[in-house]
Amino acid sequence: MEKSSQNLSIRWFYLVVGVIAMLFAGIIYAWSILKAPLESAFGWAADATALNFTLTMCFFCIGGVVGGLLAKRLGVRLSLILAAVLAFVGFFLTSRLTGNVGMLYVSYGVITATGIGLAYNVVISTVSAWFPDKKGTCSGALMMGFGASALVLGNLSSALIESPSVGWQTTFLILGIALGVVLLLAGLILRQPAPGTPLPQPQPKKQSKDEGFTVQDLTPGQMVRRFTFWRAFICIVFLSAVGNSVISFARDLAISVGAEAALATTLVGILSVCNGLGRIAIGAIFDIIGRRKTMLLANLIAIVAAAVTLASVFTGSVPLCIVGLCVTGVSYGACPTISSAFTSAFYGTKHFSVNFSVMNFNLMGASFIATASSLLLKNSGGYIAPFAMLLALAVVALVLNVSIRRP
């Protein structure tokens, strides 16, 4: 009994450590803030820095796969130490840029992103292993930390960059040191539960006939050969694309419907808050109502987000835009949580670290759709075409979602 109580205590401590590590790793999503001084200092065009974010997302996903493989071979400690070194080196090299945009791609887009992707996978898979009874809640809390970084560390970074005594170079160096230290400490603290560790198991729920299957531990190869996997993958790509697209032009969108510049900036922060709240709320809901209903709920939220924001563009309504951005934040926050919880629920926990990193490639697909949204915005001269596309994709996702029943 005493040993079981200790396990229950230590796992919550590990969750707190994991959330802090994810909060710092999530700085990757503050690129819209970090790129501004680089564009100003070196005269880089927006498309050049946008390409860096695309590279960042690609190598973030690649780093996740590498993390899943390394964690099995090297263990949690060495994997996170490697992630800490890569993240620090990437930020350090970025702080020493002299105007060569190619070096930005290498330092931030490749090295930093790979290190953060590695840490992301290792932290989630390690901490989640301690919560077989609360997969959704655990995933939601970790994802909340990751999503809240743009608001917390992003605003702090902005203040440091604008400070005459600090500037962008020192800010990048500080971020690199802080991220490296936090990931290093996480590597020294976190560990997988030992075989046979007594942990609370999920309570059996009354399932519909369609959900009454026995979970099998499938390898990544077996998982990607399932048609169900691809339906879920494409569904989550389309759902993520709604939030991914809106985040890239949220401030300008608000201004276009009549919001004051100060309010538009505040709305970007509110969207980030809703993103974090959506992650933990959907995770908790997952544990209560199950996989199928939670995924359908997340899909309906995405449809509402796209529809309300489209209506705000049609009518030029600031209140509707505010509601649309808030709902979009919740919708975007739901995506990584259901992605993690779905992978574990359908394909087991034995190969979760690699399986989840494969599923996480949906971020790449969503980023390409976000690029398409930006092109539609540029070519059409307004937000109606991008949001019409996003609404259509959310509806297609619902069709795919309804068809997902068994692994």
Sorted by where each begins, the domain ranges of the chain are 2-189, 210-403
Of 402, 3, 48, the residue nearest 199 (C-alpha): 3
CB 251 within 8 A of CB 264: yes
Helices and strands (H, E) in the chain, number of each type: 15, 0
Distance in angstroms (rounded) separating the CA atoms of residues 162 and 180: 23
Q: Which two tokens stand for residue 268?
A: 């970007």
Candidate CATH numbers 3.30.70.120, 1.10.1520.10, 2.30.40.10, 1.20.1250.20; the one for domain 210-403: 1.20.1250.20
What pLDDT does 211 receive? 56
User: Which residues lie below 8 Å from residue 305, measured CB to CB, with a gap of 6+?
Assistant: 242, 243, 246, 324, 327, 328, 330, 331, 394
Residue 28 DSSP class:
G
What pLDDT does 134 receive? 79
CB 397 within 8 A of CB 331: no
Distance in angstroms (rounded) separating the CA atoms of residues 381 and 384: 9
- CB atoms < 10 A from the CB of 118, how many? 31
What pLDDT does 5 receive? 55
Distance in angstroms (rounded) separating the CA atoms of residues 130 and 150: 27
What pLDDT does 205 receive? 55
User: Which residues lie below 8 Å from residue 87, measured CB to CB, with a gap of 6+?
Assistant: 25, 112, 115, 116, 119, 176, 179, 180, 183
Task: Give the CATH class of 2-189.
Answer: mainly alpha
Distance in angstroms (rounded) separating the CA atoms of residues 357 and 95: 29
Distance in angstroms (rounded) separating the CA atoms of residues 116 and 57: 10
CB 190 within 8 A of CB 124: no
5-22 as b/e: b if 16+ CB within 10 A: eebeeebeebbebbbebb
How far, in whole angstroms, is CA 189 from its chain's centroid?
Answer: 23
Predicted confidence pLDDT, tens digits, the chain (407 residues): 445 555 677 888 999 999 999 999 988 877 877 888 898 889 988 778 878 887 888 898 889 888 888 888 888 999 999 999 999 999 999 999 988 899 999 999 999 999 999 999 899 889 988 888 777 778 778 878 887 787 788 878 888 988 889 999 999 999 999 999 999 999 999 998 887 777 777 665 555 444 556 667 888 889 999 899 999 999 999 999 998 888 777 778 888 888 887 787 777 778 877 887 888 888 788 878 887 889 999 999 999 999 999 999 999 999 999 999 999 989 988 888 788 778 888 888 788 878 888 898 888 888 888 878 878 887 888 899 999 999 999 999 999 999 887 76
What pLDDT does 1 receive? 47
